[in-house]
Amino acid sequence: DIQMTQSPSSLSASIGDRVTFTCRASRAISNFLAWYQQKPGKAPKFLIYGASNLETGVPSRFSGSGSGTDFTFTISSLQPEDIGTYYCQQYDSLPWTFGQGTKVEVK
Amino acid sequence: QLQLHESGPGLVKPSGTLSLTCTVSGGSLSSSHWWSWVRQAPGKGLEWIGEIYESGSTNYNPSLTSRVIMSIDKSKNQFSLRLSAVTDADTAVYYCAREKVVVPAVYFDYWGQGSLVTVSS
């Protein structure tokens, strides 16, 4: 299985801050990576595929980058509604695997 | 708008079998998609359990494959999960989800609201 490791596990930032966190794959996965946002008590919401392609309707303040084993997710200006936990997911090979999540909180 | 809804017992005894059904509305299971189950233990991350295609073909997570059976009933627009020999480690919120395939991308674009299953005597 491909192990996905996210860091940090949590972060605290102020509204308007630029927020960045990472996801690392245990082996190279090209750009076969998706990102999800999950709010407490809710199902995950799909945001990005192909490491950097935003799903239709996802705010442009969200972005992703990376290839191979190292990936980054960025929120250019943190908004109150962005609070939640973000997960990366690889789709290079079965079984599909997720990172353990990065929890984003407001300072 | 596609909607998925999980249903099934919220409490299962240890060594018993967990059974959940996902009902799809606003769309068809016969739409060339894979359909998945994903679970989330309390306070933990997401774990993919397995997937089923409209033809009945399946792929399971190797960590669970000996205990998992998925099935599909296109006439009812439902697919199901059975997980046998459960322990308290199987206590989790279970989500059903649709896989969107935009080759080579495979991601989960629609999710159910989740169903909490507790394993306890």
**Which tokens in the block code for residue A46?**
């799909």
Q: Chain B within 8 Å of A56 (Cβ-Cβ)?
A: no
Confidence band (pLDDT; 50, 70, 90) for B30?
confident
Q: How far is B61 from chain A (nearest CA, A)?
A: 5
Closest CA to B102 of B50, B34, B47: B34
**Residue A86 contacts residue A36 (beta carbons within 8 Å):** yes
Give chain B positions within 8 Å (CB) of A98: 45-48
What does pLDDT average to in each consecutive run of 10 residues of chain A (107 residues)? Answer: 98 97 97 96 96 96 98 98 97 96 96
**Residue A34 contacts residue B105 (beta carbons within 8 Å):** yes
Which tens digits make up the pLDDT trace of B37-73? 999 999 999 999 999 999 999 999 999 999 999 999 9
